[in-house]
């Protein structure tokens, strides 16, 4: 079998401390048509795999084309694809470039230009802009760090979250956009997102500004879900806690406070910290005061 038809298969058993050693052919460089690499956990279950349509094997790096990777857990299967990538044999980190896509069995999809996949720490990270689509929610920002299964995520800057219910879907959800300078921390299992610096929430009936904001979402159990979505965060907002230089606009009226708690179910806002209300609609004031 010639080199062009050869299939290279490496198996890592981390629990046994096995490692990949470069042979003489690898030191000189070797090109093959197919590349496959797998790793197993303590119980002998496959934890991840990595493959490429073609590979250049160098001293420390395997350069791949048409990369496909998978990360397996008891609850999720995560798929990673890219046009090209580098596998570092020493650190075990996979660097992906061009048309990078991560999809999960829970319905999340992340796209970016480049990504580092640290299989040992189960973390993916990038300095580029990312876009994460999950149900009716679309999250974007520049610079990201996340668990491989996308259960938690940190975005560094230029953060934007859009909640856009599908047309014709009678769920009672509203179109909402939240932006901030960053950073953002979101935990999909705990159903909370924390926005920082110049936070702005835009809803059809009001706009909220603050320095920091905690947004609490409904658990997926309250909505229709599949077996793999039992811990997924829904796109419905339960509560918003805005803190620091809070400003709320409702029509022509403006409210100022140091903290505001918005209850989405009752649509009530509780203000604390010397609240001040400015009312511009005065046409019914005389009737209200009996004049």
**DSSP 3-state of 50:** strand
Mean pLDDT confidence for 225-241: 61
Does 166 share its domain with 290? Answer: yes
Boundary-marking domain end, from 85, 114, 143: 114
Q: What is the pLDDT of residue 286?
A: 45
Mean pLDDT confidence for 235-255: 90
- How high does pLDDT run on average in the chain? 79
* 256 compared with 22, residue with greater pLDDT: 256
The model's pLDDT over 81-93, given as tens digits with 9 standing for 90+, comes to: 999 999 888 888 9
Share of residues in the chain with pLDDT > 70 (%): 77
Q: Which residues contact 185 (CB under 8 A, 6 or more apart)?
A: 152, 153, 154, 193, 194
Q: How many domains does the chain have?
A: 2
The model's pLDDT over 188-204, given as tens digits with 9 standing for 90+, comes to: 888 999 999 999 999 88
Q: Please give the residue range of the domain that contains residue 102.
A: 1-114
**pLDDT beyond 80 at 63:** yes
Q: In which band, very low, low, confident or very high, does the pLDDT at 222 lie, cut at 50, 70 and 90?
A: very low
CB 184 within 8 A of CB 196: yes
Take residue 216 and report the two structure tokens written for it. Answer: 């609490």
- Kindly state whether residue 46 falls inside one of the protein's structural domains: yes
Where residue 216 sits, what CATH number does that domain have? 2.60.450.10
* 142 compared with 60, residue with greater pLDDT: 142
Does 100 share its domain with 163? Answer: no
Does 284 share its domain with 157? Answer: yes
Does 7 share its domain with 105? Answer: yes
The model's pLDDT over 152-184, given as tens digits with 9 standing for 90+, comes to: 899 999 999 998 765 544 545 678 999 999 999
Does 109 share its domain with 164? Answer: no
**pLDDT beyond 60 at 229:** no
Mean pLDDT confidence for 13-18: 28
Does 179 share its domain with 285? Answer: yes
- Kindly state whether residue 134 falls inside one of the protein's structural domains: no
- Kindly state whether residue 174 falls inside one of the protein's structural domains: yes
Q: What is the pLDDT of residue 200?
A: 96
- Kindly state whether residue 133 falls inside one of the protein's structural domains: no
- Alpha-carbon distance of 47 to 96, in angstroms, equals 19
- Kindly state whether residue 173 falls inside one of the protein's structural domains: yes
Does 68 share its domain with 172? Answer: no
Boundary-marking domain end, from 90, 114, 138: 114
Closest of 61, 56, 60, 49 to residue 9, by C-alpha: 49
How would you classify residue 71: left for phi > 0, otherwise alpha for psi between -120 and 50, otherwise beta? Answer: beta
The model's pLDDT over 21-52, given as tens digits with 9 standing for 90+, comes to: 333 434 445 777 888 888 887 777 888 888 88
Q: In which band, very low, low, confident or very high, does the pLDDT at 6 lie, cut at 50, 70 and 90?
A: very low
Q: What is the pLDDT of residue 33?
A: 80
Q: What is the pLDDT of residue 14?
A: 30
Does 99 share its domain with 161? Answer: no
**pTM summary value:** 0.77
**pLDDT beyond 80 at 250:** yes
């Amino acid at each position: 079998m010639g080199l062009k038809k050869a299939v290279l298969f490496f198996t890592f058993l981390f629990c046994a401390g096995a490692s990949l050693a470069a042979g003489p052919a690898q030191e000189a460089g070797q090109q093959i048509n197919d590349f496959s690499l797998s790793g197993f956990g303590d119980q002998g279950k496959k934890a991840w795999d990595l493959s490429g349509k073609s590979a250049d094997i160098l001293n420390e790096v395997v350069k791949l084309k048409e990369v496909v990777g998978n990360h397996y857990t008891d609850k999720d299967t995560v798929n990673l694809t890219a046009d090209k990538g580098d596998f570092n044999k020493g650190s075990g980190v996979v660097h992906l470039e061009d048309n990078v896509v991560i999809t999960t069995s829970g319905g999340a999809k992340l796209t970016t230009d480049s990504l580092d996949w640290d299989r040992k720490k189960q973390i993916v990270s990038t300095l580029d802009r990312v876009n994460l689509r999950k149900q009716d929610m679309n999250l974007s920002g520049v610079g990201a760090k996340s668990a491989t299964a996308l259960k938690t995520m940190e975005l560094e800057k230029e953060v934007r979250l859009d909640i856009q219910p599908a047309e014709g879907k009678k769920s009672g959800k509203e179109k909402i956009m939240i932006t901030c300078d960053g950073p953002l921390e979101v935990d999909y299992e705990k159903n909370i997102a924390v926005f920082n610096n110049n936070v702005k929430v835009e809803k059809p009936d009001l706009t909220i500004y603050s320095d920091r904001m905690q947004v609490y979402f409904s658990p997926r159990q309250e909505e229709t879900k599949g077996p793999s979505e039992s811990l997924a965060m829904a796109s419905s907002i339960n509560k918003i806690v805005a803190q620091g230089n809070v400003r709320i606009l409702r029509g022509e009226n403006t409210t100022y406070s140091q903290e505001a708690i918005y209850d989405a179910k009752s649509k009530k806002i509780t203000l604390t910290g010397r609240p001040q209300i400015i009312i511009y609609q005065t046409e019914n004031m005389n009737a209200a005061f009996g004049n």
